[in-house]
Structures are given as structure tokens and as C-alpha cells.
Chains A and B, each alone.
Chain A
Amino acid sequence: MSDFLPTGIQLTYLVAASLFIFGLKKLGSPATARNGNVIAAVGMLLAIVATMLDQHVLNYEMILLGLAIGSGIGAIAAYKVQMTEMPQMVGLLNGLGGAASALVAVAEFWRLLDSGAPVPLDVNISMLLDVLIGGVTFTGSFLAFAKLQGLISGSPITFPLQQQFNLVLLAAYVTGSIYLIMTPDSLPIFLGVVAVSLVLGVMFVIPIGGGDMPVVISLLNSLSGIAAAAAGFVVMNNMLIIAGALVGASGIILTEIMCKAMNRSLFSVLFSAFGTAGGAGGAAGGAAIDQTVRSIDPEEGAMMLGYARSVVIVPGYGMAVAQAQHSVRELSDQLERMGVDVKYAIHPVAGRMPGHMNVLLAEANVPYTQLYDMDDINPQFEQADVALVIGANDVVNPAARSDTNSPIYGMPILEVDRAKQTIVIKRGMSTGFAGVDNELFYKDKTTMLFGSAKDMVSKLVSEVKQL
């Protein structure tokens, strides 16, 4: 009878794990996603309640207080955050999850130290891995947050002997770990290993540029899951292991999708600041510079849009920065009322994290049925009368397809140049993230509307209304 409760707890974990999987599955379709999220949350609640019933958990008041404080902070943050700041938010939450996982290992180490019990080898190794992965996730995420928030420069930060410094850190971690496996009760060495792990997290994100943040956020997402799984190995809890593995897998999938969308390998994203090979920019597209662009005013633009049969809108991060998504939605509503077929073409790296642009448009009430992924929309550009590019640059640069010398060659792009006409709304002729000139702007079929995205789109709306 005495093992009735532990069995009940384990069975509850089994239910909770099933709810996680079921919830994640439902997150895969827009119609059921909200339910899926609720189902996963219920699974989490069950798991927490079951754990509170554990016979070893006696410290109810303090734990409930901790849960209440955490819930309060989490709820406030979730309702205050702007949709444009979603990458920062996810980055921060990743970091907290990683920190919590690492703390579990540190607390367990301290408990074993106080009790004087011998530390089993497998627990020891799990603790060391947990501290490393959790620590890297913690500081790496906070640094990514600082870069996205603009607290520190988004450009890669490098200094002399950086790689050597990293190798020394890694060697210190390995040496410390080996020492601890042989002498598990050395507190100073353990704390040293923790410190080294935290510094490694900083060193991991510091050389990565702001443009590569979608990859970094995805990778840290994966790491936060793996850290939780490692914590599961420390306290031998299947629930942590399963949930951590699920998150680890999802993060890795998203990381791979982001890398593919930027035509970069994970290795080059993580280490490109070091290898100066490539030297982006250089002689790229130098021949095209003396060509002229055709600039039009909003009235002309409105005519082209209003009398088109189909329009594809290509939003870029520039649109989000200008907060023009609501005006864009107004424009597309107005066009639809006039019988124009309007679609949105979303490049995978249009925002600052996977799927970010879709969220920003959803916030502006654009129905998700109007949003098309790159692979679905590209064959349709040829039938489109007008492609309207708003604040996007590198992701519509045809050089990625044709110019083998271009640094962005091979990157999958939205093929707006195949549309019958292209209107580009842009502040000026400056280059995009990749720092390359865009030959799209010089094509005969392309016309430019110079101005801020918000102004220009608002003007288009009022001009279209007068047609």
C-alpha cells in the first residue's frame, strides 16, 4: 500500500506526457492550435500537482509561494509584451528555463554534499551536463535578448585570440569535470565548472550577428529542452526527460528550417565571425550600379494596384519596424472590396524568429488563409499582376538565383521579379542585411515608391479609395 502514491504520481506523469504530445500535435494546425496549447498547459498543471504530492516534498508553503510569484511575473510579461518583441520574450523565457534546469543540478549537488552520501557516477555526469547545457542556455539567451532589444550592438563582437580563449574555457570545463568525477565532493571545483559554463554561453552568442538571431533563438529553444531533460537525468524523473526531449527535437527542427531559409549551415552561422572567408560584399553586383530606377507617386501606384486582378504583398521586417501592418491590412481590404485577389507571400526569415511575420500580420487581423509560404507562392508570381514589396530587400533579390558571385547566392527567395509588375516601397536605395545591391530595383518592370512604409501605404489606401 505504501507505493500507492508513487505509482499514482508516475501514472499522472504518463497522462501529462501524453497530453504534451497530443497538445503539440494540435499546435500543428491553425484551427486546433489554441486547443493544443491549452491541452499542453493542462498536462503541465497535472504534472506540477502530482509532484507536489511526492512524499519527499514537505515544503509546501514556500513552494506555493514560489509558484505564485513565478505565475504573477509570467502572466504580467505575457500580457504586456508587444508582438514585435516576441523574439526577445521567447529568448528570455528560454534563458529562465535553462537557468532553472542548471539550478536543479546545483541544488542536487549541494544536497548530496550536505548529506555526505556517495555520488553515483551517472548522477554525477548528468549534473555536469545539466550545468553546462543549462548554463549556456541561460547566459546565451540573455545575451541574445540584449542583442535583439538593442541593449548591446547587434553586430558580431570579436576580439583577438577569441577562439583560443574559447578552447581554454572548454578545456577548463573538461578538466574540472574529470576532476569531479574522481573527487565528487569538491565544492570549489564544481562552482568553477558552473562559472565556466556561464561564460561559455556568453562566448557562444557574442560573435553572432543580429541577422542570424532566428537561428540562435531556435537553437537556444532546443538547448532549453535538452537542459530540462538533463535535469531529468539528475533527479531521475521521466516527465522531465520526455518533455525536455520533445522541446529539444522541436527546436532542432526549427533551427534547421531557419538555416535552410538563409542558405547557411549551422556551423557557418555559429562560427562565421571567425573565418573571414567570403568577406561578404566585396565586388558583389558591381556592374549594375549605374542603372536607373523608376520612381512613381502613390497615385500611380494606387492605379496599378486598383486595376490589377491579383496582387501579392511581400512584407519584410521593415514593414514591422514601421508598424505599418495595420495600414497594409486596410489596403488589402480596400483592394479586395474592389474585386482584387490579394495574397501575402511570407519568407521564412521575414521576421526575427521563425513565423514571426505571420504573428505580426495576424495581430493586424489578416486572416491566416491569405498568408502563403515561399514554396506555395513562388509558382504563383507569374500570374500576379502586381507584387507589392514593403520593407523587404535581400529576400527578394534575384541575384540569389543568378549571380554566383553574390554573397547571398543560393538563398531561397520570393520570386517577385516574375510578377507582371513590381512595386517596391522603400526609404531609399540602401542595402539590406547582407549589404548587397538589389538588381530587382533596376528592372524595367519594377517601380519604386520612396518613403516610409507607413506613410506610403496610408497614401496608397486613400488613393485607392478614390479610384
Chain B
Amino acid sequence: MTEALLAALFVFVLASFIGFEVINKVPPTLHTPLMSGSNAISGIAVLGAIVASGARETSVSVILGLIAVVLATVNVVGGFLVTDRMLLMFKKKEIKA
């Protein structure tokens, strides 16, 4: 089990570095969409929620898992859609009226 933990730690730290590198150069104009977009990605907890509610039974853990599925999906769908809505507004030059 410790081996799995170590591997997971490696993944976590290296992914953090990738995150820093990729996001460091984002211009301020895009900070809000970046935040709402990355916010949607943090809804990845939905995967854990699906696994937690996977058993075909009515137990406390499955019910909690299903609640988590709903909450995380709101996070994912709301986050991506609102980001798209914002980015749709960013235009280079308006079409000449």
C-alpha cells in the first residue's frame, strides 16, 4: 500500500508543477474564465463520488456518494458552461456597425 501511496505522491507533486508552468503565463484578462474553468475541473471529485455510490445497495455510504455526485456535477456543468458563456463575449474586434 505504501508503494501506491508513494506513486500517488509523485503524481500529485509533478502535476502541481505542470499546473504552475501552464497557468503562470495566463494574462489578467483571462483570470476570471481561468478560475471558473479550473473550478469546473475541481469537480473531478465526481469520479470519487461515482465510485463511492457504485454499490447496488441502500447504505449510508451510497446515499452520501449520490449526494456528492449531484454536488460535483453542479460544479462541473455549471463551471464549464459559465466559462463558455464568458469566453463567448471576448472578441478581438467587433463587427463594424
Which A positions have Cβ atoms within 8 angstroms of B? 17, 20-21, 23-25, 27-31, 33-34, 36-38, 40-41, 44, 47-48, 51-52, 54, 56-59, 62-63, 66-67, 69-71, 73-75, 77-79, 81, 83, 86, 89-90, 93-94, 96-97, 99-101, 103-104, 106-111, 114, 120, 122-123, 217-218, 221, 224-225, 227-229, 231-254, 257, 346, 348, 351, 353-356, 358-359, 362-363, 365, 367-369, 371, 373
The reply to whether A70 and B15 contact each other, CB–CB distance below 8 Å, is no
The reply to whether B56 and A244 contact each other, CB–CB distance below 8 Å, is no
The reply to whether A355 and B76 contact each other, CB–CB distance below 8 Å, is no
The reply to whether A77 and B78 contact each other, CB–CB distance below 8 Å, is yes
By size class, the interface of chain B is 35 or more
The reply to whether B45 and A359 contact each other, CB–CB distance below 8 Å, is no
The reply to whether A90 and B24 contact each other, CB–CB distance below 8 Å, is no
Given pairs A249-B20, A346-B28, 11 additional interface contacts (CB within 8 A):
A30-B92, A33-B30, A37-B84, A48-B46, A62-B62, A67-B73, A74-B78, A86-B36, A97-B43, A122-B2, A240-B44
Type the 1/0 row for B24-61, where 1 means its CB is closer than 8 Å to any CB of A: 11111111111111111111111111111111100111
Query: Bound complex: CA of A355 vs CA of B36, how far in Å?
Result: 11
State which of B19, B50, B62, B72 has its C-beta within 8 Å of the C-beta of A249. B19
Please, which residues of chain A bring their CB within 8 A of the CB of B59?
110-111, 114
Which B positions have Cβ atoms within 8 angstroms of A? 1-2, 4-5, 8, 11-13, 15-20, 22-56, 59-62, 64-94
Using A34-B88, A89-B82, A240-B44 as known contacts, say yes or no to A62 and B66 having CB atoms under 8 A apart. yes
Using A228-B44, A248-B19 as known contacts, say yes or no to A66 and B35 having CB atoms under 8 A apart. no
B18 nearest CB across to chain A (Å): 6
Query: Bound complex: CA of A251 vs CA of B24, how far in Å?
Result: 11
Using A79-B85, A93-B36, A107-B52 as known contacts, say yes or no to A25 and B47 having CB atoms under 8 A apart. no
Q: List the 10 closest A-B pairs by CB distance, nearest first.
A: A70-B73, A249-B19, A355-B31, A74-B77, A74-B78, A354-B31, A78-B81, A66-B69, A245-B15, A100-B72
State which of A99, A234, A250, A362 has its C-beta within 8 Å of the C-beta of B19. A250
Give the one of A47, A108, A232, A355 with max B CB within 10 A. A355
Using A63-B53, A83-B86 as known contacts, say yes or no to A24 and B30 having CB atoms under 8 A apart. no
Describe A's contact surface by its main secondary structure: helix
The reply to whether B92 and A103 contact each other, CB–CB distance below 8 Å, is no
Please, which residues of chain B bring their CB within 8 A of the CB of A254?
31, 34-35
Closest chain A residue to B52, Cβ basis: A107
Closest chain B residue to A229, Cβ basis: B12
19 contacts between A and B (CB under 8 A): A24-B38, A33-B87, A54-B51, A57-B51, A59-B56, A62-B53, A70-B77, A74-B75, A93-B40, A96-B74, A97-B43, A103-B65, A104-B65, A106-B64, A107-B61, A238-B8, A240-B47, A250-B23, A365-B89
Please, which residues of chain A bring their CB within 8 A of the CB of B65?
103-104, 107
Using A21-B22, A221-B35 as known contacts, say yes or no to A77 and B74 having CB atoms under 8 A apart. yes
Query: Bound complex: CA of A346 vs CA of B30, how far in Å?
Result: 12
The reply to whether B44 and A365 contact each other, CB–CB distance below 8 Å, is no
Please, which residues of chain B bring their CB within 8 A of the CB of A41?
40, 80
Query: Bound complex: CA of A354 vs CA of B64, how far in Å?
Result: 34
A260 nearest CB across to chain B (Å): 12
Query: Bound complex: CA of A253 vs CA of B13, how far in Å?
Result: 16
Please, which residues of chain B bring their CB within 8 A of the CB of A111?
52, 55, 59, 61
State which of A30, A240, A250 has its C-beta within 8 Å of the C-beta of B45. A240
Query: Bound complex: CA of A275 vs CA of B38, how far in Å?
Result: 34
Using A34-B88, A58-B55, A66-B69 as known contacts, say yes or no to A103 and B31 having CB atoms under 8 A apart. no
State which of A104, A240, A346 has its C-beta within 8 Å of the C-beta of B68. A104
Closest chain B residue to A77, Cβ basis: B78
The reply to whether A358 and B23 contact each other, CB–CB distance below 8 Å, is no
Query: Bound complex: CA of A94 vs CA of B44, how far in Å?
Result: 12
B82 nearest CB across to chain A (Å): 4
Query: Bound complex: CA of A40 vs CA of B34, how far in Å?
Result: 11
